[in-house]
Structure formats: C-alpha cells, structure tokens
Structure 1
C-alpha cells in the first residue's frame, strides 16, 4: 500500500469520528469502492499485493488475482512489459500446478501467450510443476505443446530445458489415462515439422515403436491400443512417406485392429485409415504396402455390406476418404488427377460389391431409409464422382440419375447439400446426353433446397 493510500485512509477514519462529516465521508468511500480502475492499473499499482494474492490459500482469491492478469493479456499484452513484470508471469506459470482447475486453466492460457522474451525465465521456473501430480504435469505439457508449435526457436528452448524428453519418459507410466493424455499431446507436437524431426532424430519414435510392439504383452494393452492407433494416424496423415518408409512396424497396429474383433477398436481403425488415406500422398503410401492394404480395403467393403448402422456409416466415410481427391489441401482442386490415383481408386471401388455391381450397390445404399446411412452413402458417391470413371458408372446404372434429380424424396438438409454437390460434379460430364445435362443445370440453378410445393404455392398466389 502506498503512502498516499495510507494517508487517505487515515483521513477517512478521522472524518468518520465526527458526526457532521460522516455522511459525506461515507459517500466518498462508496464512490472509491465503486471506482472501476482501467485494465492493468491494479497489477501496475499493487504488483506486490497481486503476487501475494496469486499465492493465497483461498482459491477464490487466487481466481480474482489471476483474472486481472488475464484481462491484461487478452486486451493488450504490452500493458505489462516483460522486464518489469517477469516475476508476476513466473508466479502465474507455476500456477499451472494449482489444485483449482479454474486457476490452472487461466495460468495455462496466460503462460501460452506470452512474448518470446518471457519464456527462458518462465519455462525454467515452471519446471516445478513436473514435481507434482499427473494433472500438474499435463498442464505444464499443455503449455509446452502450445508454445512449441509457434516456432522452431520456442520448440528448441522447450527441448533444451528437457520438457520433451520428460514427456517421452511418461509413456512408461502405469497410469493409463495419464499415458494417453501424454500421447495425445505428443501427437499435437508431432504434426509440426520441428516436432516430427525431433521425434525421429532423438529416438522417440523408436521408443514408441517398442511400446507398440509390446502392447500385446501389456495387461492394459487393450486400453492403450486405441490411443496409439490415433497417434499413428495423426503422424502418418501429415508425414506418410516418412512413417511408411522408416516405421512400418507401427502401422501393423492399425491393420491388426481389423481382425481383433473389438468393436470400439474397429471404429477407431476405420476413422484413422480414412484420415491417413484422405491425402494423395497417403493413398500412394498405402498402396505401396501391396497385399496387406488391399486385404484391408476388402474388409472395409465387407463392413459396408454386412455391418450394423454405426459400423456401416464409419466404413462408408472411411471408404469415401480413400476414394476422394478433393479433401487433400495440398492438391489444387482444378488440377489434373495423378493417373496412379485414378487407377487405384477405381480398383478400390470395385471391391465394394461384385453382385450387384459396386455402383448399383451404392445406388441402393443411397436409398436406405436410415438418414445417417443415406448421408454417408452420398458422401461416398461425392468422392466417386470426383473421378471421370465415377461419372461413367453413375450414367450406366439405370434410373440412378433420375433418382438423384427427384426432389420428391425426403432428405435431411445436410443430405440435400451433399446430393447437390454430387449433381454439380456431374454438370459437365460427357457421360450424359444433352437432355439429362439440361435437367442437371436446371437442378443446379434452383439450388439444393428447392421444392415443387413452394413453386406451386407461388404460382397460386400469382393467380
């Protein structure tokens, strides 16, 4: 408290002793209490007090103190210059280990959004969180992952301080939930170039490979396998060549999931396979596996034909990702399709059904009475129609294009949008005659939600 504040409070006390001054003094105190200081003023004028409150035994007090600092960071990080307030930010960083989740989350948010010059000191002092509970460690890792993703320099700083190595060591923990949390954080780190390079060059992926190979011998392996499959899928999606060429063993975990008979694991495997194969590079890497991959494609097709609703939907979406070429952000949508992709996607689609043909089977699935299956089927049809061979197959199935152009069929709005996108893809196809193309153009002009009933009402009102 400043001398000026002390003097003001002394004067208040003196005035309150005299009855004739009491009303005026109480009004002055009320106005003082109602005064709302500008953002940052409390921290600037009462820095020592704020630091004390950040360490207060009552969580409600700590919440109030950290809220003031959070306001400064949100509105203008420059309100609290790093050289002058570095000790405040050090205390905040240590609060990632706070037992109160509200305080800890605010500490994570603030610490992850500081200027670069704060981190050498802040990260060094935050290491105290690694000495406490698994929750505290995960909070510290959260900060590290968030800031490491911003630049190579920040990643190097975190690595030099031992955070990344410490995270890797926690994969040996007996706490399954904790291990899965660490794995998820590592997967977020691995999608960045600096992250994957570190994991590959420092033996981290070799360690993960050893853990994966040993999972069948781990009593808790069934609980861990889904998390490791997701990790494999995440890094293989972003770096398929590197993972397929250097760490093929970890991919076995994914393909084996199709044979284990565990429904939960199967659904995860379907999502991950589709995620890997959604890019062109991912497709080419998958096909390089040869027979192993083609057997898996056959299994996905069997799941589409013979499974219950949830599995069928996930399998259809997986198949759509494998066939699609529009979802790859690295490939221009108007550019030519690699002829290898054209050949292999056509071959994969043939696996869907032999009798009836794959396209006839897909046509029938698009008519399924269950809306979620129908939507997934339209997603696959959209992927197929991204290829000329797909347009030709649609044209060959009698009545299919008429069904697509029929607005009397009841669809959800989401299905109407997907169907509309399919029809737009067919608008310039050489597989249809002029009359059909004219009807397609009319459909496109009317939009996805046009209704004949609306048209009839409009005409009646005009009459």
Structure 2
C-alpha cells in the first residue's frame, strides 16, 4: 500500500514538473509575442489541467504580473482568456497576500473599461475581505474601497452586485463598519447614491444586507440616516419607487432586530394604513401586492394570530385580492393564503373568519379548475398547504376543520383533483399530487380516496405522469400513504400491498414486461 502511494505521489510530482515547465515556456512566449492570444489559449488549457493546489507551486508574482499586463488591450478575446486564467490562478493566493501583493493590479481592474475585468477584481476583493487578515490589508488601501463603492454605480448590474457583495462582507466586522460609515468613504457612498433612482436602491440593498447582520450593524446604518431615508420612500410620490421601497423594508423585516426597529418606528402601522388607503388609489395595483407580501412575510416569522389581529386590513385585503379579477393581485393572495394556512395557528385564524374564508376556498377551487395554467398551479399549491396537517397535530377538531375545507372545494374533491391531474400540463399534475400527499396521512382523506372509483389503480399506474418530477411526486404520495398507520386498514390488504410494492420498486421503476417490443407486424 505504501509503495502504491509513493508511486502515485511520484507520478503527481512528475506531472506538475512537466506542467510547470510547459507553463513557464508559454509565459516566455507570451512575453515575447505581439499577438499572444494563441499562447494564452494554450496557457488557459494548461492552467485548467492542473489542480489549484498544484498551481500554488507553479505560479509566482512575476507570472501573475505578465497576465495582468495583458489586460491592457482592446482585444476582447485576449481580455476574456486572461480573466479566465486569473480567476483560477488567483485562488492560490492567501487573502492577505492577494490584497497586499496585487493591490495595484486589483485597483487597475476596478477602473478597467471591460466589465468582466471589474467583476474579476471585485470578486477577488470580496474574497480578501471575507477573512480577517485580508480585511486588515484592504483597509490599508482606502482608495481601493473608494473604487469598489463607485462600482455600485456601474451601468452593468453584474458589476454592481459584486461590489455590493464585497462591501457587505467588509461590513461583517467592526473595522469594516467603521471604515464604511465613520470615514470619508461615507461621503463617497452618498455621492454614488445620488447618481440615479436605480443606484440609490442598490445602496439601499447594501444597507439592508448590512443592517440584517446584527443590531450593531443596523445601528451604524440608522445613525447615518440611511434607514430613515429608505422609510421615507414608502410614501413617496413615485409609485414604482414606493414599490421598490416596500420590497427593501420587507427584506429588513426578515430579521428579529429589523422587525423590532420597524415596529419602534411605527412602520407596521404605516404599512397597514397604506393598505387601507390603497382602496381609493387607482394606482394601488403597482404597490399593494408588496404591502401584502410584507405582512405575509411577517406571518412566517411571527405569530399569524398576532399579525392578523393587530392589522386586520391585511387579511381582509388578501381575501379581496383572491376574489378579484386583477392578474397582479390573485397570485400574491394565493401565495399568502398558502403561507398563512400552513400552520395550525394560521388555520385557526382563517377558520375564525367563517363564511368569508369559505367563499375564498370556493374561488380557489374555481381557479384550480378553470383559471390560467399558472394560477391553477398556484391555487393547488396553496390548497395543499391549507389541507396539510402533520400527524402530531391531528386533533379531532383540526381534522374536521380540514375535511370541511376540502369539501368546500367540491362535493367530490378527489375526483376533481384527479381530473385536473390527467390534463396535459405537468405542473398541474404535480401540484394536484401535492394536494393528495397533504391528505395522505389523514384517515378521512384516505377514506375519500378509496371511495373514488379507480383511484387505487390510477395511483399505482406508472404510465401516468412520465416526467422525472411527476414520478417523484407520485412516489412521495405513495410513500406518505405507506407511512400512515391507518392506510392498511382503510385501503385493505391487497391495495396496501400494491402501494408497498410500488414504494419498494422506487420512483423510476419500469415494468419489464410492458417494455418488451412485440415481434411481428409492419
């Protein structure tokens, strides 16, 4: 065994030695060539053939200098190949070494006319500031950080995204926060913010990312008035700007300290009042979905009952949107109802509304049967969440509640769902099966399935639903039935055995007899 390892190590070292010589030769040719694109292509091939760990032994700072110098050209292919080579080779440098030894090259990259070079430089700076020793080196070069901030205002969104990511990583430490918010860089950030509405919202995106990390980081952003400025945009005159502001504030509300801050600033009440005022605003369709999504996200991370009781306009608006004919409102209402009804507390909140929610359920059933394909699938996904009830939560009252909701959809809900699943739309098939899966652990649901003629035969028929996702959805449904303690009694021994066999064979099993080609004929 030892001899084999020694031989393998010798072969690897020999290979690296050969590749090192080849790369050294190519770099010499590149240095002497007036048109080095061909040699660069060969170098790229060689670099990709060597593991990153092996490149560490081959590439030195002078080698990197040669490749960096070749970025100073208008030849698009030359730039592209150099970027690919550098993107791989720079990985061998430790973050601190990268920030120190390639400082001027990275700064040149940030100011390069080609966006791919900017992205390369930003990605490497982002890698450097992702480590404590790398941050220390970068902070010694505030001019680099100034150029990174200016890249937030770049025309190409890809460049801006890399800049935002790098600054967000930088702000993960106190030293980074101090550099960005307690130095001259703050002035640079404000100047970039003033370029346009689009760039202003990129800065807000950065601020929200930073603020979400901790109460301390939120404090830095709040003290510089970025958060208050964002909150003022909620009630601005520009409807599209308002819609974007709502999205940003929703992101801030994802973290607990963000929610606490927004509550202290009275933002929850302000957004609730905006929902109420939207009824008389003919342009509300642009921003009302965002307001509803805000509270929909709160329901996920907070108490559904508390949210709905504190802000009653939210739930009544969701119901109104579900009943409307506005194509921008219905999807948001369906998704929100699914989120709200996925928990026991949310189900109880909906149940308390009585006939109002029953009317919404009938509307959801109608959409699932007759709506546009996307709305049908979304409605089914929401219904699946509303009807789901894990075994540990299956009290008699909740089982009766879910059963009453299911029967509100149709007098024969299983037949309705199976009819939807047989239509030639894969997304509808899978969405319908997810509703069945939600009901598979509930005894009354199993009884409804068995009472539906041909249901068991359809369930184990592998010729129905032939795509990968379809097969997996059917397998999940069968698995949910098999794992339920009541299935054998409800379905009976023979049918239960068929389900067990289906599960044992797996989702992609093909019946060998069915796949044999019949001989004879034309």
TM class, shorter-length: 0.7 to 0.9
Matched, 1:344 2:401: yes
SS at match of 1:138: helix
SS at match of 1:297: helix
Matched, 1:280 2:344: yes
Gaps of 5+ in 1: 1-25, 327-333
Give the structure 2 partner of residue 396 of structure 1: 451
Identify which of structures 1 and 2 has the higher relative contact order when contacts are C-alpha pairs closer than 8 Å and 6+ apart: 1
For the structure 1 residues 279 and 27, does the alpha-carbon distance in structure 2 shift closer, same or farther, using more than 3 Å as the test? same
- Post-superposition offset of 1:404: 0.7
Task: Please say if residues 72 and 80 of structure 1, whose CA atoms lie closer than 8 Å, have aligned partners that are also in contact.
Answer: no
SS at match of 2:453: coil
For the structure 1 residues 181 and 193, does the alpha-carbon distance in structure 2 shift closer, same or farther, using more than 3 Å as the test? same
Matched, 1:162 2:237: no
Select between 393-402 and 73-82 the one with higher mean Cα deviation: 73-82
The equivalences for 1:319-334 within 5 A come to: 319-325=383-389
Task: Please say if residues 341 and 347 of structure 2, whose CA atoms lie closer than 8 Å, have aligned partners that are also in contact.
Answer: yes
For the structure 1 residues 66 and 271, does the alpha-carbon distance in structure 2 shift closer, same or farther, using more than 3 Å as the test? closer
SS at match of 2:169: coil
Task: Please say if residues 109 and 120 of structure 2, whose CA atoms lie closer than 8 Å, have aligned partners that are also in contact.
Answer: no
In the alignment, the residues of structure 1 paired with residue 433 and residue 506 of structure 2 have an alpha-carbon distance, to the nearest angstrom, of 17
Pick one of 42, 49, 66 that aligns with 1:34.
Answer: 66
Give the structure 1 partner of residue 161 of structure 2: 105
Task: Please say if residues 371 and 411 of structure 1, whose CA atoms lie closer than 8 Å, have aligned partners that are also in contact.
Answer: no
Select between 101-110 and 375-384 the one with higher mean Cα deviation: 101-110
Give the structure 2 partner of residue 17 of structure 1: none
Give the structure 1 partner of residue 54 of structure 2: none
Superimposed CA distance per residue, residues 127-150 of structure 1 (whole angstroms, 9 cap, x where no aligned partner): 444433111211111112222222
Give the structure 2 partner of residue 317 of structure 1: 381
Pick one of 426, 438, 443 that aligns with 2:481.
Answer: 426
Superimposed CA distance per residue, residues 196-246 of structure 1 (whole angstroms, 9 cap, x where no aligned partner): 222222101111122222223334222222332333322223322331121
Gaps of 5+ in 2: 1-30, 37-61, 69-88
In the alignment, the residues of structure 2 paired with residue 411 and residue 168 of structure 1 have an alpha-carbon distance, to the nearest angstrom, of 50
Q: CA RMSD in A?
A: 3.3
- Post-superposition offset of 1:262: 1.5
For the structure 1 residues 267 and 421, does the alpha-carbon distance in structure 2 shift closer, same or farther, using more than 3 Å as the test? same
The equivalences for 1:128-147 within 5 A come to: 128-147=191-210
Give the structure 2 partner of residue 121 of structure 1: 179
For the structure 1 residues 165 and 290, does the alpha-carbon distance in structure 2 shift closer, same or farther, using more than 3 Å as the test? farther
In the alignment, the residues of structure 2 paired with residue 311 and residue 48 of structure 1 have an alpha-carbon distance, to the nearest angstrom, of 54
Task: Please say if residues 278 and 322 of structure 1, whose CA atoms lie closer than 8 Å, have aligned partners that are also in contact.
Answer: yes
The equivalences for 1:251-290 within 5 A come to: 251-290=315-354
Matched, 1:79 2:137: no
For the structure 1 residues 94 and 386, does the alpha-carbon distance in structure 2 shift closer, same or farther, using more than 3 Å as the test? farther
- Post-superposition offset of 1:337: 3.1
Give the structure 2 partner of residue 307 of structure 1: 371
The equivalences for 1:341-380 within 5 A come to: 341-354=398-411, 357-380=412-435
In the alignment, the residues of structure 2 paired with residue 158 and residue 280 of structure 1 have an alpha-carbon distance, to the nearest angstrom, of 37
Aligned residues: 423
Pick one of 499, 503, 517 that aligns with 1:440.
Answer: 499
For the structure 1 residues 445 and 158, does the alpha-carbon distance in structure 2 shift closer, same or farther, using more than 3 Å as the test? same
Superimposed CA distance per residue, residues 402-452 of structure 1 (whole angstroms, 9 cap, x where no aligned partner): 221122435332222111111122224121222222121111111122122
- Post-superposition offset of 1:400: 0.9
In the alignment, the residues of structure 2 paired with residue 50 and residue 447 of structure 1 have an alpha-carbon distance, to the nearest angstrom, of 53
Select between 290-299 and 78-87 the one with higher mean Cα deviation: 78-87
Pick one of 363, 384, 392 that aligns with 2:439.
Answer: 384
Select between 343-352 and 63-72 the one with higher mean Cα deviation: 63-72
Matched, 1:93 2:156: no
Give the structure 1 partner of residue 9 of structure 2: none
SS at match of 1:426: helix
For the structure 1 residues 164 and 387, does the alpha-carbon distance in structure 2 shift closer, same or farther, using more than 3 Å as the test? farther
